[in-house]
Amino acid sequence: MTLGGRKPRHNHQLLGLGTLVRLLSARGDDFPDDAELLEEDPRHPAASFRYVYTFSLTSTRVTPEVKLAMPVFRMGRNDDDIAHSLWTGRRERTRTISGTDMRKL
């Protein structure tokens, strides 16, 4: 999204978002970027819940504030898998980016 050409597109942010989605959904790094994450099952009560995102545009901010709600209860197998995926992914990302121990963050 470019907001009418005013905000440049940042590919590193999109890659980070893709990594977060794969971590929350317990998908591996080899999971295709264009594959469907959510299986459709009309009998499931949460089948209609999708990603919800909002943009807060104000004159006092240079860039918009973006909030993203993800249906992790549909994507992850259980709470332990989601927590483990997030912890492992964050630890690996921190180690590769800064070389620091995550416990110090």
Range of the domain at 54: 47-98
Confidence at residue 105, expressed as pLDDT on a 0 to 100 scale: 43
Q: Is the pLDDT of residue 30 over 50?
A: yes
Query: Do the domain assignments include residue 76?
Result: yes
Question: Per-residue b/e over 56-82, b at no fewer than 16 CB within 10 Å?
Answer: eeeeeeeeeeeeeebbeebbbeeeeeb
Query: Do the domain assignments include residue 12?
Result: no
Phi and psi torsions of 87, nearest 5°: -65, -50
Query: Do the domain assignments include residue 38?
Result: no
Across the range 41-67, mean pLDDT stands at 71
Query: Do the domain assignments include residue 94?
Result: yes
Query: Do the domain assignments include residue 40?
Result: no
**Quick one: pLDDT band at residue 91, thresholds 50, 70, 90?**
confident
User: Which residues on adjacent β-strands are paired with residue 54?
Assistant: 67
pTM attached to this predicted model: 0.46
Query: Do the domain assignments include residue 78?
Result: yes
Domain count for the chain: 1
Confidence at residue 5, expressed as pLDDT on a 0 to 100 scale: 58
Across the range 67-77, mean pLDDT stands at 69
Query: Do the domain assignments include residue 93?
Result: yes
For residue 85, give the nearest of 46, 31, 49 by alpha carbon. Answer: 31
